[in-house]
Structure 1
Amino acid sequence: MNDTPGWASPGSAPSDPSDGREDTAIPRPAGPADADEPGAKWSKEQPPAAQWSPPTAPAGGGGPVPPQQPQQNWGGGWGAPAPTAAKPGVIPLRPLGIGEILDGAVSTMRTHWRPVLAISITVAVITQLATILVQRFLVPTPQDFDPDASPSEALAQTADSVQASLLGSVPALLFTLAATTVSSALLTIVISRSVLGRGVTVADAWHEARPRLLPLLGLTLILLTMVVAPLAIGLTPGVLIGGVGGAGLATLGGLAAIPVVVWLAIRFSLASPALMLERRGVIESLKRSAKLVKGSWWRIFGITILVAILTWLITMLISLPFGLAALLFDGDFIGSIMRGETPEYSWGFLIVTGIGAVIGAAITYPISASVVVLLYVDQRIRREALDIELARAAGLSGQSPAPGGQPSGS
């Protein structure tokens, strides 16, 4: 297998020579991506130096970087890697630590805030509007629970309430799925350019991402099915049995399904950037993610959990003041709770909480998307010497030497 990185435009087919566009994003490895191989190996053959040149270099200027042999990985990825490396954009071109991945995510928001906020705020507003309209008009009014109901009757009432809420929320979930798919595609393009130190407008990101939207939506549906299927298998026997015993069995089945869901989610967590940046098909992207994650599952799991906790804390810190303001704005909401009644959501309550949710999503969407893309870049640097190709793509004359006089490609 040849793991030598090749070249592909960000998220779409290479631009037609007649339109004046140039390839500017993450290089794609040449050769089959899903060929089985015992562990990650370095390619001993690098592309001929004469065929590589910086995409934006003027004619006759900016000579190519001579091929360099990658050196061993710097630690396990949690500590600080080698201190010297080329940094054309938001990350240094070498294996990344967790701090550098988070710093790269924040730097992307700070450096390219116009397209990032334009994308994330638009998507957040659309999803929140859909959620508000669904909660106001489609979700049925929750029924009051009978305090004198037997355990089986209380369980049946709870199941009916949950079922009605889920069915009423389906339209909002579909809107959210479509909107987050578009935002993920556009943000992936923005982040991939930021690695090379290049800016991008929303129009440019849309031009690059548009051909990949349908495959990305298909990939998202497959990943969603992978999450739902194990849970459905674990819960179905208990649901069919019913009663208190069935509820206990469903709980055990759901708990047993959670490790399977987590394992699948991490194993295929890098499929989206692979699909967008390497122009792969849906199945090939899933195989590509599995290959990149292999041997690093626990590391990627730890980083993913850490980022999930951080984004949850950010969301809570932003949403809490708006939630309190909504409660004060809608006095009847608190009154209903005090009277022991099921509260109804008024327009004021929904709008105030929706504003807080939009602000929180506008911050957390780009952070989550950046971490996924930077994890993908980091894994390719560790396994395929992508840092050398990124340095060439960024138009650098060479990489800063790592300690010992060797290049920092790891």
Structure 2
Amino acid sequence: MTDSPGWAAPGSPSDGQGSDADRPAAQPSGKGTTPAQAPGDANTPAQAPGPTADAKWSAAQPPPGQWDSPAPGRTPQPATPPAQQPPAAGWGTQPGSPYQYPGGWGSTPPAAKPGIIPLRPLGLGEILDGAVGTLRGHWRPVLTISLVIAALTQITLLVIQRTWLNDLPTAGEDLTPSQAVKLMGDTALVYASQYFLEILGLVLVTALLAPVVSRAVLGQASTLSDTLKAVRPLAPRMLALTGLLLLGAVAAVFLPVLPGILTGSAALTALGIPVGLVLLAWFYVTFVLAPPALMLERGSAVAALKRSAKLVKGSWWRVFGISLLIWLIRTITAMVIVMPFAAIALVVSPEGLSGLLDGTAALSWSFLLISAIGGVVGATVTVPMQTGVTTLLYIDQRIRREALDLELARAAGLHGYGTATTAERPGG
């Protein structure tokens, strides 16, 4: 039992059990008897026993403090001593939970919040709010790092587009079978390159911004120089982890379709595509926490992969759902940001709307450059949201499984935090 606000002491008036010291002493009475006369009151005549008293008062009364009369024809149950009465359950009360608050109805006690999140297991709203709070409160290092990675990614994608799509036939041309196959292969290569470049950017931004998010959790400020200083010793390991993740993603996608490609079977290739997508989703979610694990635990690349798999185990669907939700939010937000740039690119492009319909506009430098600028702006704003959610998921999983909140509280200078037992802590 603690003295913190929000606790209701057992036996207090708040839970319907008044103190026996505040009640008048009950006089013993039997059937047909009346209360005893007060001493010294000799002039008061004693009332004779009769049926009137039996009809008005029952021999067994309900327990004190319970505002409920027994139903007609039902024998009242004997009162349970106050010390043996179980606490009243409310909305959301967990069985065996030590928390019973007046007006709280089974809610958890307020946790310490030195930074962007409370130091306890997090909900979806708190994770999203923490990611946005990191972007809002530490925008200088966040946007600078995100801008550099987004610019490098878009430049690489622009080169790939110009290299593989330069000699593609237009929509009005009659395609031979070999040209159709080449068109499909080059288009698939461009989209695959775009996807893997996006994964690369997410991994790098997540790793680079993990120290910023960890400082934001502790309520500490971050600068670009401090972030780079923390990241610089781990740069070789970060690059090794990025390479392993890219190789794993490529293997998850292409291994299932490789038999169909080698045998020339279109049906076998089509069958391997959904299998590859499922494997890619499993691979991504299983190792999504590896970048923050590497940067915050400072282990090797292989150790970070094992750490992510261990933290995600048993919570795969939760991590998958949150990651998918933030990916949808980020994609929709990025599309809204890119749309004005795409409209400007169509206006500036010599071919205009007709060039967009026949595919020639996508090959002009003006269209590609303006679209790339829009992609850089959209990625700069939205990628930190997803990477922040990933780092907070890592912290949340460690709080749930390893009581990381105690270490975070000590690092934040919260003296006396965590003196309660594990059962008394939220989520313990």
Structure-2 residue corresponding to 1:87 = 113
Structure-2 residue corresponding to 1:196 = 218
Pair 1:214-2:236 in alignment = yes
Distance in 2 between residues matched to 1:81 and 1:214, nearest whole Å: 46
Letter aligned with residue 382 of structure 1:
R
CA-to-aligned-CA distance 1:166-216 (integer Å, 9 cap, x gap) = 778999899877765543332111111111111111111111111212212
CA contact (8 A) 1:143 1:342 kept: no
Structure-1 residue corresponding to 2:404 = 386
Structure-1 residue corresponding to 2:292 = 273
Structure-2 residue corresponding to 1:232 = 254
Distance in 1 between residues matched to 2:393 and 2:98, nearest whole Å: 15
CA-to-aligned-CA distance 1:225-278 (integer Å, 9 cap, x gap) = 222213222112222233xxx222211111122222211221111111111110
Structure-2 residue corresponding to 1:241 = 263
Q: Root-mean-square deviation (CA), in Å?
A: 3.2
CA change 1:300–1:183 in 2 (3 A) is closer
CA-to-aligned-CA distance 1:124-149 (integer Å, 9 cap, x gap) = 22322333344346643312468665
CA contact (8 A) 1:85 1:399 kept: no
Secondary structure of 2:156's partner? helix
Q: CA deviation at 1:84?
A: 0.7
Q: 2:128 aligns with which of 98, 102, 108?
A: 102
Distance in 2 between residues matched to 1:216 and 1:181, nearest whole Å: 9
Distance in 2 between residues matched to 1:270 and 1:344, nearest whole Å: 36
Q: 2:378 aligns with which of 350, 360, 381?
A: 360
Q: CA deviation at 1:400?
A: 8.8
Instruction: For 1:192-341, list aligned pairs within 5 A.
Output: 192-242=214-264, 246-337=265-356, 340=358
Structure-2 residue corresponding to 1:114 = 140
Letter aligned with residue 310 of structure 1:
I
Return 5+ residue gaps in structure 1 as ranges.
1-70, 75-79
Distance in 1 between residues matched to 2:198 and 2:284, nearest whole Å: 19
CA change 1:401–1:323 in 2 (3 A) is farther
Higher relative contact order (CA 8 A, sep 6+): 1
TM-score where L is the length of structure 2: 0.68
TM-score where L is the length of structure 1: 0.71
Secondary structure of 1:95's partner? coil
Distance in 2 between residues matched to 1:360 and 1:406, nearest whole Å: 44
Return 5+ residue gaps in structure 2 as ranges.
1-95, 100-105
CA contact (8 A) 1:330 1:348 kept: yes
Letter aligned with residue 135 of structure 1:
Q
Aligned identity (percent) is 43
When structure 1 is superposed on structure 2, of 344-353 and 111-120 the one drifting more is: 344-353
Letter aligned with residue 369 of structure 1:
T
CA contact (8 A) 1:386 1:409 kept: no
Larger Rg belongs to: 2
Distance in 2 between residues matched to 1:171 and 1:250, nearest whole Å: 19
Give the total of aligned pairs.
Answer: 326
CA contact (8 A) 2:204 2:242 kept: no
When structure 1 is superposed on structure 2, of 156-165 and 278-287 the one drifting more is: 156-165
Letter aligned with residue 228 of structure 1:
V
Letter aligned with residue 269 of structure 1:
V
